[in-house]
């Protein structure tokens, strides 16, 4: 099931699974903890300000099913104070096949729910896609992972330029390991346009 891939994806992005309980008073018995967001898979961000509810189905979700989920989320929102950021950051992630052939009109109607953000954002992932990882990449709010590295040639050019610009003593001081660097030594060797800083 693709929900396992989604679980791994959220865990990798520092989300954790969570259930939401609220104490409800019973007449003479006392209080009882009630699940106020009754979904099987709920992930919350590490800073506790955004949740993703994950639902998966082997066929296309129906409008009735989506409306029912919306109703559960709306009931949950009533328990949250206005200052709670989760109230405004609820995402319903719906995993299902999105056939492109015979049910195009039905698929378009269901995908129209993505525009409805009244109770929560709704995001559909196509489980029939050959590249489900590509489907996962459309999820919002995760920082892009970009590795920026300088090429060896650019590093060499930069090193040469620094050597030309500073005195030999200062250059060797800058090459020291981080814990060996003494700011006082660097300042004593640093000159700007012929003027010594420490005069």
pLDDT, residue 168, reads 74
3-state secondary structure of 143: coil
Comparing 134 with 161, the larger pLDDT belongs to 134
Q: Cα–Cα distance between 68 and 21 in angstroms, integer?
A: 20
Residue 76 lies in a domain: yes
Residues 95 and 31 in one domain: yes
User: Does residue 194 have a pLDDT over 80?
Assistant: no
Residue 146 lies in a domain: no
Tens-digit pLDDT profile for residues 98-123: 887 666 788 888 888 888 878 899 99
Contact call for residues 53 and 92 (beta carbons, < 8 A): yes
Residues, the chain: 199
Place of tokens 């992930």: 43
pLDDT, residue 32, reads 86
Q: What is the dihedral of CA 28, 32, 36, 37, to 10 degrees?
A: -150
Domain total of the chain: 2
Mean pLDDT of 178-198: 57
Residue 120 lies in a domain: yes
Residues 47 and 91 in one domain: yes
Residues 86 and 48 in one domain: yes
Supply the DSSP string of 110-139, one letter for each residue.
HHGGGG--SS-EEEEEETT-S-HHHHHTT-
Question: What global pTM score does this model have?
Answer: 0.67
Query: Exposure pattern of 103-122 as b/e (b: 16+ CB <10 Å)?
Result: eeeebeebeebeeeeebbbb
User: Domain range for residue 69?
Assistant: 2-136
Supply the DSSP string of 28-78, one letter for each residue.
TTEEEEEESS--SEEEE-TTSS-EEEEEE-SSPPPHHHHHHHHHHHHHHHT
């Amino acid at each position: 099931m693709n929900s396992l891939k989604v679980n791994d994806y959220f865990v990798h992005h520092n989300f954790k699974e969570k259930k939401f309980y609220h104490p409800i008073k019973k007449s003479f018995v006392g209080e009882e903890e009630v699940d106020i967001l009754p979904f099987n898979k709920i992930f919350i961000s590490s800073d506790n300000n955004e949740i993703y509810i994950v639902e998966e189905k082997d066929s296309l979700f129906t409008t009735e099913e989506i409306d029912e989920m919306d109703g559960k989320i709306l009931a949950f929102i009533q328990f949250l104070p206005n200052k709670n950021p989760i109230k405004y950051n609820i995402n319903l992630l719906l995993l299902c096949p999105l056939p492109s052939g015979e049910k195009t009109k039905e698929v378009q109607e269901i995908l129209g729910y993505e525009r409805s953000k009244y109770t929560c954002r709704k995001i559909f992932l196509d489980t029939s896609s050959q590249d489900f990882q590509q489907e996962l990449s459309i999820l919002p709010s995760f920082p892009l992972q970009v590795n920026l590295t300088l090429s060896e040639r650019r590093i060499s050019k930069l090193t040469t330029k620094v050597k030309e610009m500073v005195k030999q003593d200062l250059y060797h001081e800058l090459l020291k390991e981080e814990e060996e660097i003494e700011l006082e030594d660097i300042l004593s060797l640093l000159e700007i346009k012929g003027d010594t800083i420490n005069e």
